[in-house]
Amino acid sequence: MTVRNRNFQAVALTWRYHGRHTGFVATLLTGVLAVAFVLAACAAPAPQPTAAPPAPPAPPAAAAPFVPGPTLAGGPPGAVAPDAVDAVTVQFTSEGGTIKAYQARPKSGGPFPGLIVIHENRGLTDHIKDVARRFANQGYTALAVDLLSRVGGTDQFTTTDAAVAAIGKLDPNGITQDLNAAVAYLKGQSFVKADRLGVIGYCWGGGNSLRFATNNKDLRAAVVYYGPNPATLDDVANITASVLGIYGELDTRLTVNVPTLAEAMKKYGKSFEYKVYSGAAHAFFNDTGERHNREAAAEAWPLTLAFLEKNLKQ
């Protein structure tokens, strides 16, 4: 064999070897790619970026503090013009009877704490209506109840003496029923905070304010302006409201009994604070009466407002 033939055979063998090797590598690569494709298809999908959770809703904005309107220059403490507040006469039922009341509240906003105003032994006079408007201007729904409603109402009496005589004949239990009905009325109004109720009374109304506090557990505050103690002093054990007493130094018929009331309130663990105003007589807050004491009234007004603010607004 010639050299040329031997070289040709060597090239042919080399080609056949490399050809077989190349086919094997191609086959191997094809298999590897197939396996990789299957594994990729079976593998869990790659995690996708997720959106951030929504932000929690913003808390409701705190209600702006109530700002009282202007008071009458040179007038009695807190007095306002009759049209400064929304004032109307309302009616509600009580144990089969119809009770009238003078309701005063701010012209806008709310709901507001409810405050029952109990009149003196003269009935629901213009003075008590004026006092109700004063409290309305301070951010309360004031309800001055005419407790002579069951005998025709205060307006039917042509003299003060006749109204006083009619007051003296009222049944104490009937008074409690009608005041309970007043509480129910307030709790049913959308413009009243049903869990923020108080009572304030003057003279005869002061005594009934304290007595009512011994009979109604919906009250959070009770203010007594120169009113007598309950007939049964141990009844104060039933009080759940905080109590403020306002008295005149010269009103000795009542003031002499205040320490006894304080002792009973302390005995039963009740909240009671009081102030006796030097030189002031009974009914000193009534600016339409002869015993009005301007200085004592001016001091008692902010004390009363602070007490109500603490117990009915905070």
- Domain limits, the chain: 1-38, 82-313
What confidence tens digit (pLDDT) does each residue in 204-233 have? 999 999 999 999 999 999 999 999 999 999
Percent of the chain with pLDDT over 70: 81
What confidence tens digit (pLDDT) does each residue in 279-293 have? 999 999 999 999 999
Q: Across residues 123-149, what is the average pLDDT?
A: 98
Q: Give the pLDDT confidence score for residue 96 in this predicted structure.
A: 84
What's the pTM value of the predicted model, to 2 decimals? 0.81
What confidence tens digit (pLDDT) does each residue in 83-115 have? 999 999 999 999 989 999 999 999 999 999 999
Distance CA 111, CA 306 (A): 19
| Confidence bin at 40 (pLDDT 50/70/90) | very low
| Better-scored residue on pLDDT, 1 or 124 | 124
pLDDT at 35 over 60: no
Burial of 196 per CB tally in 10 Å (0-12, 13-18, 19+): buried
Contact 143, 116 (CB under 8 A): yes
Q: Across residues 24-28, what is the average pLDDT?
A: 33
Burial of 210 per CB tally in 10 Å (0-12, 13-18, 19+): buried
Pick 82-313's CATH classification: 3.40.50.920, 3.40.50.300, 3.40.50.1820, 3.40.190.10.
Answer: 3.40.50.1820
